[in-house]
Each structure stands twice: as structure tokens, then as C-alpha cells.
Chains A and B, each alone.
Chain A
Amino acid sequence: MVSERKIVYRHSLVTRVTHWAFFVAFLVLVSSGLQIFNAAPYLDASDKTDASRRVLAIGSPAQGVGTTSVFGRAFTTTGWLGWTDDGMGGRDARAFPGWITIPSYRDLADGRRWHLFFAWIMVVCGAAYLIWGFARRDLRELVLRPGDVPKIWPMQLYYLRLRSEPPPHGKYNPLQKVSYTLVLFVFAPLLVLSGLALSPGFDAWMPWGMHLLGGRQFARLWHFAAMAALLGFLVVHLGAVATTGVFNHLRSMLSGYYRLGAHDGTGV
């Protein structure tokens, strides 16, 4: 009986504000980042530009044709990548289409302005969230601990409907902990560090950042990969929201109040 389940105050104001600001900043950073990527639509696993170490290349070998090469294997992606919407009603040789970039038309200078502004919003929100969560010990419930490891597989089996009950767990289940731990302590820091390593001023100041990542072009590759990983998380996150009560989750992230579910009211 849903109506008899307890309603609890789950998300603090800081968590809710930083969550939505981070979300908006992330979308803007993806869109403006793709605008910046379009100026040099390839990624090399190297320090200086090196076509022999090219991992990804998006191009237009001929008028009206778009191709995407992954590790040297070319695919025709006309309309989606390479030859796409130019943001001004037509089509042109453009890696990512205008409907996904900021600004929609080709403008590296303004793409950079957006990117370098919203990067601050993302970093400040991320840092505020982590500091707040750490101080209030909220993060304890979110971070994967050694004791959670044996429960990961049973939880996966439950999700695959090969097990009737999830393993006992706290506010967040072991798989949620895996993804949140990856996002907070692997993908997001990698995103920030690889972004900084693209700055020649930062490289002169703290050369270890770029060295750690394998060089400057490698930093571009890491930056793109971390973005893709976070975008992947967003899809999984929305999937989890969709299957466990859209209204309940939206309310809890807006007002803070959440109605507990059958297995303890797992958070998303």
C-alpha cells in the first residue's frame, strides 16, 4: 500500500540546488564543448597532434558526405556526424550538428566563452556538494565500501530478475554506490583535471596534470571520454528515475521529501 509508506526528508537544500545547477551546467558544457571539438574534430592518444595515434576522427571527405572513424575504421554518418545541420537552416561539413551545439552556428570564440563560464558553475557546485556531503556525513551512504562489494553481483541479478529480492542494503543499493562513486571520484575529477590540462597556462604552472594524462592531445581524449561517461551515467540515472517513480523522485529533488519504497526507499 503506497499511501501507507513513510514520507521522509531526504535531500537537503544544498543537495537540491547543487544537483540542478550541476545538471544545467553539464548540459551547457556538453553543448559548448562539442562546439569547441568541432574546430578540430579528432582525438589523438598523444601529446602533440599525431595522426598515427588517432582514436576518433569526424570529417567530410566530400560535399554531402559525413564520416566517423574509430581507430581507423570509417563509418558513414551523413546527417548525424561530419556532414550535418549548420545551425543556420542548411547543411555543411561540421562534426557535431548545430542542434546540439552552443551557439548552434559555428562560433569557437563564443563556444569557449560559454564553456569557460559554466565550467566554474559545475566546479563550484560539485565542490559545494562534496564538502556539504562530507561534513554532514551524507556521503557515507553513497560511497562504495569494501562490505558492499560482495553485494554487487546479487544486486545485478535482482535487476536482471534472476533474484526475487535485492540484497539488504542502506539508503542506496550497491550498484547505485558503484555508479555514484565512479561519478564523484573518478569521472568528475578526470573531467576537471583533463579540462585544466588543456590550458597552456595551467600546464606551465602544474605540469604534472598533463603528464599524468599522457600529454595534451591525450588530455583532450580523456576530457571527451569523461564527458561521454557522465552522459552515460545521466542515461542510467534517468532510467532508474523512470522505473522507480518519476513523480516521487522529482518531488524529492525539488522539495526534499521522498516517499519510501518497499525495499527501504532506495534513492536514485
Chain B
Amino acid sequence: MRRRLFIAASVSAALSACSPLGTKLNENAGFHHLLESAEALNHRVIGTRGRAREYAESDISADFPINSLPTPSGGSYADLARGGFKNYHLLVDGLVDRPQHFTLDQLNHLSDLDQITRHDCVEGWSVVARWQGVRLSTLLQIAAPKLSARYAVFHSFDVDDSGTPYYESLNLEQAAHPQTMLSLRQNGKPLEVDRGAPVRLTVPTQLGYKSAKWVRRVELVASLGGMFGGKGGYWEDQGYEWYAGI
């Protein structure tokens, strides 16, 4: 009896002490900063190596959950969608030698990647889908980033309820990965509006929140510090890791 009491008391005491103590520490800025230090280590150790697994047509998931707004709330998007994205331009600019405007036709013409990969959400679920589009490296080669460029920032048409624009970023090593692409088609069909039409980012080597939907502009920059929340992405500004390879 004493033994059972000891076990029950110690396991539940240990576990239930963990939560309030952890919650208190979580709100301590210094301790939170210490926790964040693991990201650099994880980035260094795991980094951007190898290639994400590619799947067969038969592996494609029947269902692909939508974890964003069904349609972006940015002002110009509704007009573009009504016009079948005929007036859409992808802007590639910033620290590049040759800034570019790509129409959808031009992007379709440049299309050079067709891959079936797994999309892993930070929440824990995974889905397999087929993506067709342009390797990001192809577009970057055309635009020719300057030596000072270190990150590619992806601006989305989407804006959240409080007016904060959605954006994401990759360093140039991640951007040049042969599986990093701007997708135009999903599972053989042009992207639907709720899937990121007409152009979305696909980064199979990192978690799903990196794969920004409704991309309107790729901007090459030297640092992420001055942009929006300064952490390099919409979710990153809310506490998620910039390095989402883990």
C-alpha cells in the first residue's frame, strides 16, 4: 500500500509539477531565448541535405486538408481570380541583376518539375500530392541574384484579420534545392483557389508552413531582420521556427 502510494504520488507530482513550472518559465523571456537556441543547432545538424522521398501516383492522398483561409483576403486577389489570373504577374526582384515579371503563360512554359512528394504539417499529419511547376532555381537563374542576396522572401496575396500580410522565406541554399519549386498544378490540375492559385511554393524538405500559398512576389534580400516581425515568416513571427526541417 505504501509502495503504491509512493509510486502514484511521485509520478503524478513530477508530471503535474512540470506543467505549471514549465508554463511559468515559458513566459520568462530569458528562458524562452535559451529554448530558441536549439533552432540554430538543429539547423546546423540536420540542415538541407539529400532529397525528400518521391512517391508513386498510387500513393497520392485522396484528401488534402486545407489549413489556411479558403481564399486570400488581399485586395487585388479577387479581381485576378475572376479574370482567370490572366493579369497575374509573378514579380522577382530585390537584390537581383535582372528583375523579372513572369506571366502565368511564361511560368507554364518554364515548367520543369513534376514530383510526387509528402507534405508534413507542423501539426503532425502528412499527405502525398503531385506538384508540377517551375524549380525556384530556374527562376533565380534568370533573375540572377546579386552576391549580397542571402534570402528569398515570398510575398503572398494573403492578409490576416489584423491586416498582417502573409510571407515566408528560405535561404539561398534551401531555395536552390532541386525539389524546391513554385507549383502551378496539384494532382494534375491547375491549382484551385483554396490550394494557393495560381502559384504556390512547395518545399518538401521542410514542414508545410514553409510552403506559402498565393505567391505574388519573390524578393531577394540580404537579411530578414527589417521585414514585418523580423523572423522571416508569418508563422515565424508568431513563434514557430524559421528552420522548419524538423
Within B180-235, the residues touching A (CB, 8 Å) are 204-207, 235
Chain A contacts for B2, CB-based, 8 A:
242
Task: Please report the total number of A residues contacting B with Cβ < 8 Å.
Answer: 54
Q: Which residues of B contact A87 (CB under 8 A)?
A: 19, 23
Tell whether, in the assembled complex, residue B50 and residue A206 are in contact, meaning their CB atoms are under 8 Å apart.
yes
Q: Contact at A47–B126, with CB atoms within 8 Å? A: yes
CA distance A3 to B42 in the complex (A): 51
Residue pairs across A and B with Cβ atoms less than 8 A apart, 18 shown, are A28-B18, A31-B18, A40-B125, A103-B19, A104-B23, A109-B235, A116-B39, A116-B246, A198-B246, A199-B46, A199-B245, A204-B52, A205-B47, A216-B126, A238-B7, A238-B11, A242-B2, A242-B3
Q: Does B75 contact A (CB under 8 A)?
A: no
Tell me the bound Cα distance from A242 to B239 in angstroms: 42
> Which residues of B (56-109) have their CB < 8 Å from a CB of A?
59, 61
In A209-225, which residues have CB < 8 Å from any B CB?
210, 216-217, 220
- Tell me if B121 and A40 are in contact (CB < 8 A): yes
Determine whether the beta carbon of B18 is less than 8 Å from that of A203: no
Smallest CB separation, A229 vs chain B (Å): 15
Interface residues of B, Cβ cutoff 8 Å to A:
2-3, 6-7, 10-11, 14-16, 18-20, 22-23, 26, 32, 34-39, 41-42, 46-53, 59, 61, 118, 120-128, 204-207, 235, 238-241, 244-246
Residues facing B in A225-243 (CB within 8 A) are 234-235, 238-239, 241-243
Q: B7, A235: Cβ atoms under 8 Å?
A: yes
Report the Cα distance A43→B124, complex, angstroms: 9
A109 CB contacts on chain B under 8 angstroms:
235, 238-240
